[in-house]
Amino acid sequence: MHNIFTSALFVFALLLPAFSQGEEDDYRKIKKLSAVNDSGSLSDLADSFIKKYPESHHLNDVLIISADRERDINKAIEKYKIHLKNGKLARDARKKICEIYFLQSSWHNLEKESGDMIRSEKNQNTEKAMLFKTASLINLEKYNEAKKSFGELLDATHEQKPISIALLYMAMINKKTSGFSSSYSNNLRDLASGFSNTDSYPSAVYLLGEYYENKNKTDEAYSAYRDLVEKYPKSPEAGMAQKRLLLLEKQNPKTVFYIPNKKIINDSESLDIRPELELTDDSGPHYYSIMIGPFSSKKKCDEMKRLLSDFGPSKSIKLGTGFRLIVGRITGADDALTAKIRLAEEFGINGRIVRISGDQNKKYIYGE
C-alpha cells in the first residue's frame, strides 16, 4: 500500500509544472519593480526572464508587465503584438496597441489595428475599437467611411459614454464636410441637451460657443462659454473659453438660453457657404480659387476636374493625406464667393475659398 501511494505521488509530481527557485525569485523581483514603477531595471530583468524561462507559466504576466512599463513606444508595440497569438490576452493587447497609435496620431496604423480588433471580437463588445476606427477615418479624411462607422457604432451600443464620443465625432465630420451647418448644430444640440454627465459635454458646449460666434450671436456665445467656465473650470476647454469671454464681454452681452432650438437649426444653411477666411483685395500677385476635396485617389480628383471644366483652369494637388482640386483662377474676392455659391447650388459641393500667391517657381495657398 505504501509503495502504491508513493508511486502515485511521484506521478502526480511529474504532472505539475516545474518551478526553479531562480525563476520564482526573478518573478518576485519583477513584480516588486512594477509596483514601484522602476521602468529601467524592470525592462532589463523582464527581457532576461523571457530569454531564460521561455516555458514559464509566469511568461504572459511578465510580458504584460514589461510592455506596460516599456519606455520605447516601438518596443512596447512589439511586446503587445506577441500577445495577439494568445486568445486570452489578445483583446487587451490590441486595445493597448490602438491606444498607442491614437496618442501617436498614427492614423493609418490605427485604422488597420482597430479594424482587426473589430473583426477578431465579432459579436463581443467592440465600442472602443469602433471609436478608434472612426477617429482614424476622420483624421484620414475618409468622411463617408467615418459616417458608416458612426452608424455601426450606434447600432452596437446603448451606453451613454461611447454614444457621446461618437456624436462628437459626427459633429467633427459634419463641420469638415458642411461647415457651420444645420446638421452640425443639430449634433451639438443632441450632445448639450442629453449628455451633460459625460466627458464629451464640455467640448460640446465650447463648440456651441464657437458656432454662435460664427453666426454673430454674441449673447448665446457668451452664455455657452460662461456656463462652461463656471461648471467645468478644470476642463481643457475652460481655458480657451475664458479667452473668448474676455473678448465678448466688451460687447456687453446678456445671459440667455443657448441650447439650439429648432428655429436656430432650421435657419442654419444645409451647406455653410460663407468663406472661411477674410477676403481682401490687397496688393501683390495673387488670385483666388475654390479648393474641393479631399479625394482618396488622383483618379477621383481628375473625374471631378472634368465635371467642373466650365469653372475655368483647375489643377489636382497632393495635400496631407489626400488629393485636392484647385478650381478657377479668380481675380476678385466677390467673384470667388460667387463661384463658391454656384458650386454649392448647382453641384451641392461645399468648396473652400483659398488665396494663391507667389511666382512661377513657388506657390503658397492660404485658407486651407
> Which cell goes with 60?
504572459
pLDDT at 86 over 70: no
Nearest-angstrom CA–CA distance, 134 and 145: 8
User: How many CA atoms does the CB half-sphere of 339 hold within 13 Å?
Assistant: 24
Residue with cell 509566469: 58
Query: What is the architecture of the domain spanning 286-366?
Result: 2-Layer Sandwich (3.30)
CB atoms under 10 Å from CB of 288, counted, come to: 25
Phi, psi of 296 (to 5 degrees): -75, -20
More confident residue, 115 or 283: 115
Domains 158-267 and 286-366 share a fold: no
Nearest-angstrom CA–CA distance, 192 and 190: 6
Domain boundaries, the chain: 17-133, 158-267, 286-366
- Contacting residues for 234 by C-beta, under 8 A, at least 6 apart: none
When the pLDDT of each residue in the chain is averaged and rounded to a whole number, the result is: 79
Mean pLDDT of 200-209: 92
pLDDT at 178 over 70: yes
User: How many CA atoms does the CB half-sphere of 126 hold within 13 Å?
Assistant: 22
pLDDT at 358: 59
Across the strands, what pairs with 356?
287, 365
More confident residue, 18 or 194: 194
pLDDT at 281: 40
CA angle 84, 129, 147 (to 5 degrees): 145
pLDDT at 57 over 90: no
Mean pLDDT of 52-58: 77
pTM of the model: 0.63
CATH topology of domain 158-267: 1.25.40
> Percentage of the chain surpassing pLDDT 70?
80
pLDDT at 103: 82
pLDDT at 82: 73
CATH topology of domain 17-133: 1.25.40
